[in-house]
């Protein structure tokens, strides 16, 4: 039986701050409304944690079964590929976190959020889609992560659904302007995936995993990455310019030098393996930006 240390490794704790950033962003914007429901934000955060761990474990299992995780892979060793966790054990864990995600999501939309029954049913459907997407990224026939669609799904679930969905559940209403911070978080989250795929380009190409980076090539991926990192600042600025806030709502700009400095360093890297530390940095900087934005909106 696998050790608890192996299960902690399989959960990939370093991915969790990024998952929570989208919930924090949606909650921060919702907190400016008179109908703000903090419990809905906390429940959304719990559901998101379950979904993220589910995605990580399904990815561990799927990439091992397909042969993508192998001795030539760059980055942290995966638990199924290394033999720390047996495939059968990981499949059981995937089922467990699917159930936990579903239960938590049902509790959120029917027990916590103050929304109409029709909207609750809609969110149940979206939740089921999120569970399926978490698994189908690398598991089953024709996983979408192997054909360059991972970026689209990350943008949708970490951005539009994560931020705008949290806003709706916590505020009980919808505002089109929230799509601006939602898109900002979606782009930054996609940036983390893009860095991951830039790091793994050689192994992915050799094993038939057609990520967007493999399709466009390293040089175009750098330009793409620049847009993913810089456009969010334009989107958040546009949001503030179209709503009434104090000057300190612009606190998030204090994080810009960090993003710019890392971007310049990435342009100077020639060995894809050296990109690995920047994944964690981008995830943490995204959380920092979110917290600064949240503080600025609600001081």
Residue whose tokens read 């503030």 = 240
What pLDDT shows up at residue 206? 86
In a domain, 202, yes or no: yes
The reported pLDDT for the residue numbered 208 is: 83
Specify the pLDDT at position 24.
97
Are the C-beta atoms of residues 259 and 285 closer than 8 Å to each other? Answer: yes
Q: How far apart are CA 115 and CA 168, in angstroms?
A: 9
Closest C-alpha to 204, from 154, 159, 143, 262: 143
- Is the pTM higher than 0.85? The answer reads yes
Residues contacting 105, CB < 8 A, separation 6+: 47, 123, 124, 127
What is the rounded CA–CA span in Å between residue 18 and residue 51? 12
Q: What is the CATH number of the domain that holds 101?
A: 1.10.600
Residue 7 covered by a domain:
no
Looking at the domain assignment, is residue 76 inside a domain? yes
Query: What is the per-residue pLDDT for 40?
Result: 97
The SS3 assignment for 84 reads: coil
Q: Is residue 4 part of a domain?
A: no
Domains identified in the chain, total number: 1
State the 10-residue block means of pLDDT for the chain, 299 residues long: 86 91 97 96 97 94 73 69 90 96 97 93 96 90 87 95 97 96 98 94 87 94 97 98 90 98 96 93 96 94
pLDDT of residue 209: 84
Q: What is the pLDDT of residue 203?
A: 87
- What is the rounded CA–CA span in Å between residue 70 and residue 83? 11
3-state secondary structure of 67: coil
Cβ proximity of 189 and 159 under 8 Å = yes
pLDDT for 141:
82
| CB 112 within 8 Å of CB 123 | no
Distance between CA atoms of residues 248 and 297, nearest Å: 8
Beta carbons within 8 Å of 206's beta carbon, 6+ residues apart = 72
In a domain, 1, yes or no: no
Contact 227, 155 (CB under 8 A): no
Confidence (pLDDT) at 147 = 87
Q: Return the DSSP state at 107.
A: I
Between CA 146 and CA 15 the distance in angstroms is 20
In a domain, 8, yes or no: no
Q: What range does the domain containing 28 cover?
A: 13-298
Task: Confirm whether 5 is domain-assigned.
Answer: no
Determine phi and psi for 73, rounding to 5 degrees.
-70, 140
Contact in structure between 45 and 23 (CB atoms under 8 Å): yes
Q: 51-54: long-range contacts at Cβ-Cβ below 8 A with a sequence spacing of 24 or more? A: 51/19, 51/97, 51/101, 51/130, 51/131, 51/134, 52/15, 52/16, 52/19, 52/134, 53/11, 53/12, 53/16, 53/97, 54/94, 54/97, 54/98, 54/100, 54/101, 54/131, 54/134, 54/135
């Amino acid at each position: 039986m696998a050790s608890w240390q192996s299960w902690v490794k399989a959960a990939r704790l370093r991915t969790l701050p990024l998952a929570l950033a989208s919930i924090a962003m949606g909650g921060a914007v919702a907190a400016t409304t008179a109908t703000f429901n903090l419990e809905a934000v906390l429940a959304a955060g719990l559901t998101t944690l379950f979904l993220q761990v589910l995605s990580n474990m399904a990815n561990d299992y799927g990439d091992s079964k397909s042969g993508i995780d192998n001795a030539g892979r760059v980055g942290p060793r995966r638990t199924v590929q290394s033999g720390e966790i047996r495939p059968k054990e990981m499949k059981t864990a995937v089922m467990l976190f699917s159930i936990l995600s579903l239960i938590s999501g049902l509790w959120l939309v029917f027990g916590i959020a103050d929304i109409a029954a029709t909207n609750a049913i809609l969110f149940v459907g979206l939740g089921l889609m999120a569970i399926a997407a978490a698994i189908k990224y690398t598991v089953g026939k024709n996983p979408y992560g192997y054909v360059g669609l991972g970026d689209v799904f990350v943008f949708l679930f970490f951005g539009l659904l994560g931020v705008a969905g949290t806003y709706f559940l916590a505020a009980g209403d919808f505002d089109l302007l929230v799509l601006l911070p939602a898109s900002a978080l979606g782009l930054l989250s996609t940036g983390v995936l893009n860095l991951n795929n830039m790091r793994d380009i050689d192994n992915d190409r050799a094993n038939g995993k057609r990520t967007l980076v493999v399709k466009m090539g390293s040089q175009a991926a750098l330009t793409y990455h620049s847009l993913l990192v810089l456009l969010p600042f334009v989107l958040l600025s546009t949001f503030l310019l179209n709503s009434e806030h104090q000057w300190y709502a612009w606190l998030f700009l204090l994080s810009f030098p960090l993003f710019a400095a890392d971007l310049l360093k990435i342009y100077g890297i020639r060995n894809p393996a050296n990109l690995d530390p920047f994944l964690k940095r981008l995830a943490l900087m995204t959380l920092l930006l979110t917290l600064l934005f949240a503080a600025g909106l609600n001081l």
